[in-house]
Amino acid sequence: MGYKKIFLVRHGQTTMNVKGIYQGRVNSDLTSLGIQQTKGVGKYIHSKEIVFKDIYCSTSPRAIDTCKLIIETMGKNAVKTVKYDNRLVEMDFGIFEGQSIELCKTNYPHTYYDLYHHPQDYAPLGDGETVQQVIDRVSHFLSDLKNDEHKDAENVLVVTHGVIIRAIFYCLLHRKIEDFWIDEDIPSSSLTILSKDDNRAYRIDELFITCH
């Protein structure tokens, strides 16, 4: 069982993205470019005449705004229900939250290095999450997604965040935690499509499509 195709969208560009600041659980508004990017995703989906039984979305405001813009652009008839799930919120970066990436790299070099080079050993400063904790909650979400699916639904759309998309890759593509960051940076409002092959295993059909 399982949806034949999973469409993953990272939220649109935000003001903190532009400034190079860790967002995580804090939020910032979509920029005008972020809004334009997101509408491009909706237009692309509409042009392909793709219909979703369900959309699952992070409860973060920037993801919700992205989701609403996509629905408005592709047309309400393209989706039946939208479900908001806090297991899809971005990683909690602890003390890094709200600080510039460059400042964290300078002030906390060992922690910063472990996050991106030894994710299996990363220990957040403050009340943040480990990479494994993020993987665990995403794994629970995917398990529920499989159980809650509609038998007549082939496509599902998930609107979320960069680290969560990497965790989905880890779970569905059976990667090692050491390879958590192996993919290039995930562009804002990019669309990735995973589909099942003949062996009922997921593979990447399209990676980080930008429709803007």
Write the pLDDT tens digit of every residue in 152-208.
Answer: 568 999 999 999 999 999 999 999 999 999 998 999 999 999 998 877 789 999 999
Among 34-38, 97-101, 148-152, 166-170, which is the least confidently predicted range?
148-152
Strands, sheet with 202-209, edge to edge from the N-terminal-most edge strand: 79-84, 52-57, 155-160, 5-10, 191-196, 202-209
| 90 flagged as catalytic | yes
pLDDT more than 90, % of the chain: 80
| 150 flagged as catalytic | no
Instruction: Check residue 212 and give its pLDDT.
Output: 66
13 assigned ligand-binding residue:
yes
199 assigned ligand-binding residue:
no
Cα 30 versus chain centre, distance: 16
**Identified catalytic residue from 90, 97, 161, 212:** 90
Write the pLDDT tens digit of every residue in 118-138.
Answer: 999 999 999 999 999 999 999
Instruction: Check residue 79 and give its pLDDT.
Output: 82
Instruction: Check residue 80 and give its pLDDT.
Output: 79
| CB neighbour list of residue 109: distance below 8 Å, 6 or more residues apart | none
Q: Write down the architecture of domain 8-158+170-209 according to CATH.
A: 3-Layer(aba) Sandwich (3.40)
| Tokens 């300078």, located at residue | 106
Contact by Cβ (8 Å): 142, 136: no
Cα(38)–Cα(9) distance, integer angstroms: 9
2 assigned ligand-binding residue:
no
94 assigned ligand-binding residue:
no
Instruction: Check residue 202 and give its pLDDT.
Output: 92
What is the model's pTM? 0.95
16 assigned ligand-binding residue:
yes
Instruction: Check residue 151 and give its pLDDT.
Output: 56
